Structure 1
Amino acid sequence: MATSQATDYSIDQWDELVKQGQRLTKSETSAQFQLGDIALTLVPVAPDGKRPPMKAYKLLANYANEIGQDPERFEEYRNVSAAWPKNERNKQVCWTVHSILAPHPDRFTLIDEPPVDRRTRERHWTCDAARRVRGWKTDVPETTEEKLRAVEDLLDDEQEAAEAVERVMRRPAVVRRVAEKQQVRETFNRAQTERIREAHSTARQRPEIRRLDEEAEVYTVLGLCQSFARGIGKALPGLHLAELSDDAKESIREGLERVTAAVEWTEHVLQTGQTDMDEALQRLIAGET
């Protein structure tokens, strides 16, 4: 025997229950619109769009309580009835769909042009279809975007989202598809680079690492000083600087001036920690002046 999506019912039984539900829905929709029309009779919509006075809301609330209705729900009935004049309502469409579409500027056209149901391939309005028109979250996601939104809502916790991504990335086909997206690769690379930078920064705060860094920096500067001093010490005894021409001596003095500037700048960095130099000093040390 053929069955419906509800496994305990045959197709005929299911169809009969659907028809019964549709009849009840139409009856409920009619009652909801009738209640809204009564609310409009009690407090008509102002032509200028102004809100009713407070005593009008009190009147609606008192009436709602008298008939056993929730005042806020009764006010909603009124607003929906106001948005849907009687000649614009579609008796084949439930009140909830009318309610969802009520603020839409093209509601009168939309209500008579139902979308195609993705499951039945028939044209009719559902609450989710109306929510989809409004750009709202649907109860049963169907499109890719709706499914992704639902997943994002479920995984609002960062830790859970990370674990979900990790599990999905165990699927080779998913990994290949993700790797094809340049934006994803760039985002991952930036995150990885930042993580490495943070790890290095954290490591450098450890005492043993700081000592190693300090020693390396000292050795670097001392090595440069030693190279210059050793070079001068070896070269000068064999030179005849006093016998040089004035122009030659001036050239050497310019070189010494650059060395002096470099030494003074090094002392400045030792005292202040500031390694920037002005343009003139930069040109001088580079020998561009």
Structure 2
Amino acid sequence: MADLSKVGSVSRQRYEEIVAELREAVQRESGACWLVGDRAPEIEPMRPHGGRQAVLPGEVLLSVRESLFMLAEDVGLNYRTVETRRWTASRWPSERRRLDLSYTVHRTLAHIEDERERFAAIRHPPEHPGTGRRVWTPDQANRRVGFQVARPVSPQEKINAIHTLAREDEVASKVTTDMLRRPDVAFRVMRDDTARHQVNDTQVEQARQVREARERELLGDGEPPLAPTVRRVTHAIEFLDLVSSCHAFVAKASRVVPHLRDRHLSDDESAVIHSNVARVRATCDWIDHAVQTGQVDVDEELARLLRGE
């Protein structure tokens, strides 16, 4: 059981003292952020997109970027920091700011486009998913505007975090491989028609690439005398795979169907069986067409049927 009298390595009393001290520091920091944000527009007021300041004859003005860059360097800040604080201040007139909330929360909520909605939102904090208290925190502000949170709580937030971390294909493939080694996860994934068909299509494509690579390895460059023999062997393997698949289906059905005697399936169960029988018929027609014509293309209607849609 957690020791509620301590937080980390300090007592609860010392923790509260630290919180009070840091709140004052955060308020001072927020005040500095607002000061920069309020002074920068004196130098370069916010203008409509594409707007320009009127220039008198013979007068030379710096661009907005040049002016803000000069200000940033003269006060020891990053240009982007000055630019962001200027924009944030423009979204929050001083009378609309809440002194009990950090500048960080204001900066995030500044992304609410509608002004009335923005001003109303900061007065009505949402319920925290962890504590149940109505409070604005940086993560709560991120949730409000649809940004990724630092500490995901809901399943969707955790999913979003995983997607962000797995943007690179190499990382995503490693994570997916690890997840599919968990039987329960693999079972749930295979219940998704799109995922299942994607896996099946990938297996077929990998088999084709492996077969072609073996042919190239055996044949080498050009058209050697063994080429027809290798192609006949490959053709025979494909033929046997197809015959084996048909045989396996017939054998399995022959064992299972007799057990349906005197069984009364529900409407839902019957609908599932009829749907799958339709897919089997469509697949058989596809095989017949491929054997007769040599064409294996799948039209959109058949593709949807095979996917179970």
Q: Shorter-chain TM-score: which interval?
A: 0.5 to 0.7
Cα distance, 1:17 vs structure 2: 1.9
| 1:214-229 pair list within 5 angstroms | none
Relative to 1, partners in 2 of residues 1:189 and 1:9: Cα closer, same or farther, differing over 3 Å?
Answer: same
Normalised TM-score (structure 2): 0.59
Could you give the per-residue CA deviations for residues 237-287 of structure 1, whole angstroms, max 9, x where no partner exists?
Answer: xxxxxxxxxxxxxxxxxxxxxxxxxxxxxxxxxxxxxx99xxxxxxxxxxx
Q: Highest Rg: 1 or 2?
A: 1
Q: 2:90 aligns with which of 60, 70, 82?
A: 82
- Report the CA distance shift for 1:198/1:186 in structure 2 as closer, same or farther (over 3 A): same
Match of 1:211 in 2: 229
TM-score by length of 1: 0.63
Per-residue CA shift, 1:154-175, capped at 9, x if unaligned?
A: 3344344333323222222212
CA distance in 2, matches of 1:171, 1:113: 43
Distance in structure 2 (CA, Å) of the matches to 1:55 and 1:170: 57
Q: How does 1:1-289 map to 2 (within 5 A)?
A: 2-3=4-5, 6-46=7-47, 50=51, 54=62, 58-105=66-113, 106-205=117-216, 206-207=218-219, 208=226, 210-213=228-231
Following the alignment from structure 2 to structure 1, what is the Cα–Cα distance between the partners of residues 233 and 152? 62
- Of the structure 1 ranges 132-141 and 74-83, higher mean CA displacement relative to structure 2 is found in 132-141
> 1:151: how far off?
2.1
1:65, distance to aligned residue in structure 2 (A): 4.1
Whether the 8 Å CA contact 2:46–2:90 is kept in 1: the answer is yes
**CA deviation profile, 1:36-90 (whole Å, cap 9, x unmatched):** 2222333333478725563555454444444444444233222211111111112
Contact 1:203 1:209 in 2 (8 A): no
In 2, Cα distance between equivalents of 1:86 and 1:153: 36
Does structure 1 retain, via aligned residues, the 8 Å contact 2:215–2:230? no
Residue 125 of structure 1 aligns to a residue whose secondary structure is coil
Note the aligned Cα RMSD (angstroms).
Answer: 3.2
Relative to structure 1, the CA distance from residue 194 to residue 19 in structure 2 (aligned partners, 3 Å threshold; closer, same or farther) is same
Q: Which amino acid aligns with 2:38?
A: D
SS at match of 2:123: coil
How many equivalent residue pairs? 218
* CA distance in structure 2 between the aligned counterparts of 1:216 and 1:188, rounded to whole angstroms: 23
Does structure 2 conserve the Cα–Cα contact (< 8 Å) formed by 1:204 and 1:210? no
Q: Which residue type is aligned with residue 118 of structure 1?
A: P
Task: Tell me how far 1:188 sits from its aligned partner.
Answer: 1.0
Percent identity between matched residues is 25
The one-letter amino acid paired with 1:30 is G
1:108-161 CA deviation, whole Å, 9 max, x = no partner?
122112222222221222222222233223222223233223223333443443
Deviation at 1:96?
1.4
Q: 1:145 & 1:88 partners in 2: Cα distance?
A: 32
Shift of 1:27: 2.1
Contact 1:60 1:71 in 2 (8 A): yes
In the alignment, the residues of structure 2 paired with residue 173 and residue 197 of structure 1 have an alpha-carbon distance, to the nearest angstrom, of 30
**What secondary structure is seen at the aligned counterpart in 1 of 2:42?**
helix
SS of residue in 2 equivalent to 1:147 = helix
**Could you say what secondary structure the match of 2:28 adopts?**
helix
Gaps of 5+ in 1: 218-274, 277-289
What secondary structure, in the 3-state scheme, does the structure 2 residue paired with 1:37 have? helix
